[in-house]
Amino acid sequence: MRHLRLFAVAAVLSLVCLAGSAFADSTVDMQLIGVGGNNGGGVYTYPYNFSINGGASTPLICDTFDNDVIIGETWKATVSGLLSGNGLFGLSTNDYKAAGLIFQGITAGNIDPTIGNWAIWGIFSQNARNNSYFTNSAVLNVYNTALANAPNSANSLFANLVIYTPVAGTQSWGGTPQEYIGVSAPEPGELALLAMGLLMGLLVFATRKQLGLKCAVTR
């Protein structure tokens, strides 16, 4: 019975470790392959479509109004959790939370992509706030609401969001590229390992009764 319990513990620990590795910080190759066509104030807004590590098109939202990129440009980026403190704007936790709230509103269909993207730009850029498009009442409403709600929003609400922070000097054109926010997803190989760990755990519980074992109880 002791060996089976150890096996169960090992399976659970493996699953936890694999889950952590699936979302660990990493460096990826980015290429901007196109935009979705939304625009406001003379600039394109979400979605920006990327090939990441040569993969299929992935939509991301830009949080960096003051940096420029062009379609076809490539660079390396560090992928980390939205609230990791590793972004271009450092430990601005509530600012990143506000941006995350807006992005979630956009992807849920509750916030217009152009209005929301301008609100995110305004969080991190005085130049964006000085732009005439930012004074649009709809942008200001989204901006003010997100900043007001951010301090009271649990960190767990943003666990599935990541930032793609450019590595300066790796770009194929111009200056330091923009930073982007997206939804995290484990690689296919990591998904397979996660599934394997889960199956191992389920196997233990499925065979427990057949072996006449009981779960350990803390007295």
One domain, residues 13 and 51: no
One domain, residues 217 and 178: no
CA distance 133 to 91: 27
Residue 3 has pLDDT above 50, yes or no: no
One domain, residues 151 and 46: yes
For residue 6, what are the CA distances in angstroms to 1, 16, 94? Answer: 9, 15, 42
CA distance 114 to 102: 11
Share of the chain above pLDDT 70, in %: 74
Look at the chain and report how many structural domains it folds into. Answer: 2
Query: How is residue 27 written in tokens?
Result: 């460096």
CA distance 202 to 78: 35
pTM of the full predicted structure? 0.78
For range 55-60, the mean pLDDT: 98
One domain, residues 212 and 136: no
Q: How confident is the model at residue 185 (pLDDT cuts 50, 70, 90)?
A: confident
Contacts of 14 (CB under 8 A, 6+ apart): 197, 200
Tell me which residue of 151, 138, 136 sits closest to 100, measured CA to CA: 151
Alpha helical stretches, state H, the chain: 2-22, 93-107, 113-124, 126-130, 137-149, 188-208
One domain, residues 65 and 134: yes
One domain, residues 76 and 123: yes
Q: Which domain holds residue 147?
A: 32-183
Range with lowest mean pLDDT among 36-45, 161-170, 175-184, 194-203: 194-203
One domain, residues 164 and 192: no
Strands 39-40 vs 74-81: parallel, antiparallel or unpaired = unpaired
One domain, residues 99 and 1: no
One domain, residues 16 and 118: no
Contacts of 135 (CB under 8 A, 6+ apart): none
One domain, residues 108 and 129: yes
Query: How is residue 92 written in tokens?
Result: 């601005």
pLDDT 10s digits, 92-114? 999 999 999 999 999 999 999 99
Output the pLDDT for position 25. 81
Q: How confident is the model at residue 167 (pLDDT cuts 50, 70, 90)?
A: very high
Mean pLDDT of the chain: 83
One domain, residues 46 and 63: yes
CA distance 141 to 121: 14
One domain, residues 214 and 199: yes
